[in-house]
Amino acid sequence: MPQDHYADIRGLHLFADMSDEHFAQLFRGAYVQNFPPHIDLIHEGEPSDFLHIVLSGAVDLYSTWNTRETSMATIRPISTFILAATIKDAPYLMSARTIEKSRIALVPSQDVRAIFGVDDAFARAIVSELAQCYRSVIKAQKNLKLRSSLERLANYLLRQQLRAGGGAEFELDFEKRRLATVLGMTPENLSRAFKSLNAYGVVVEGNRIRITDQDDLTRFAKPDPLIDDFST
């Protein structure tokens, strides 16, 4: 693997504390590849041959069943995905495709497992990472089971607003049709949901969102740190 991304990857919490030697060993067999948009990287059910690290671009984790498809998560730089499958040496539960042009590092799963076996700091970092992932999915599930689609959209907007800096105006960071399946609804329904949120001070212009009445929207959305705060 070329040197230019070593520092970025080394800075990830997951790899920060491991020994230099093990880090070098881990990435000896790794390589970096560029992918165009909308390329399938992995498919659910396959054995997990590589741990993936998104260096730039964005990746969509999605799942299918019986003609239906849904988006499970979006991976943005710099972070890894399918760590759990890699560690357990189990088949992928989700498929992955690039959303945009992306640069991705591929680390052979067997190397990850080997280094996991010998590097204690790495093992502990994995615990931390997996606990974080677990809690994120729990929050997503609470979001799904406890809220209507309109409430999910309202809370999504508040989260996205915060991520974008907190200003009254911000951009959606991916297309609405994908946002719809992320939120667990159809594109048509999302369109109507945006319209309904007009009443709470949300103005939509293409991908641009303006929140004209922050309090009103917040009162409706009732955000909850135990669902919406990604950091805890």
Partner DNA sequence: GCAAGGTCTTGACATTTTTCAAGCGAGCGC
Partner DNA sequence: GCGCTCGCTTGAAAAATGTCAAGACCTTGC
Give the interface with DNA as residue ranges (CB under 7 A).
148-150, 175-177, 184-195, 204
Buried b (16+ CB within 10 A) or exposed e, 151-172: bbbbbbbbbebeeeeeeeebeb
Among 25, 56, 70, 110, binds a copy of itself (CB under 8 A): 70
Q: Is the sign of the CA dihedral 198, 200, 201, 206 positive or negative?
A: negative
Given candidates 16, 137, 168, 199, which one binds a copy of itself under the rule CB under 8 A?
137
Helix (H/G/I), strand (E/B), else coil: 8? helix
Is residue 186 a contact point for a copy of itself (CB under 8 A)? Answer: no
Tokens representing 83? 């760590």
Phi/psi at 209 (5° precision): -115, 135
Q: Which of 13, 28, 135, 177 binds a copy of itself (CB under 8 A)?
A: 135
Query: Any contact of residue 162 with a copy of itself (CB under 8 A)?
Result: no
Q: Which is nearer to DNA, 50 or 220 (CB)?
A: 220
* Secondary structure tally for the chain: helices H, strands E: 11, 11
Q: Which stretch binds a copy of itself (CB under 8 A): 47-55, 98-106, 136-144, 189-197?
A: 136-144
Q: Is 205 an interacting residue with respect to a copy of itself (CB under 8 A)?
A: no
Distances (CA, A) of 190 to 24, 46, 74, 110, 213: 47, 32, 18, 42, 20
Q: Which does 149 bind (CB under 5 to 8 A by kind): a copy of itself, DNA, none?
A: DNA
Residue 72 binding: pick among a copy of itself, DNA, none (C-beta 5-8 Å cut-off by kind): a copy of itself
Indicate the SS3 state at residue 31. strand
- Under rule CB under 8 A, residue 114 binds a copy of itself: no
Least Cα distance to 223 among 149, 143, 168, 144 occurs for 143
Could you list the residues that contact a copy of itself (CB under 8 A)?
44-45, 63-66, 68-70, 72, 83-85, 87-88, 90-91, 93-94, 116-117, 120, 123-124, 126-128, 130-135, 137-142, 144-147, 184, 222, 224, 226-227, 232
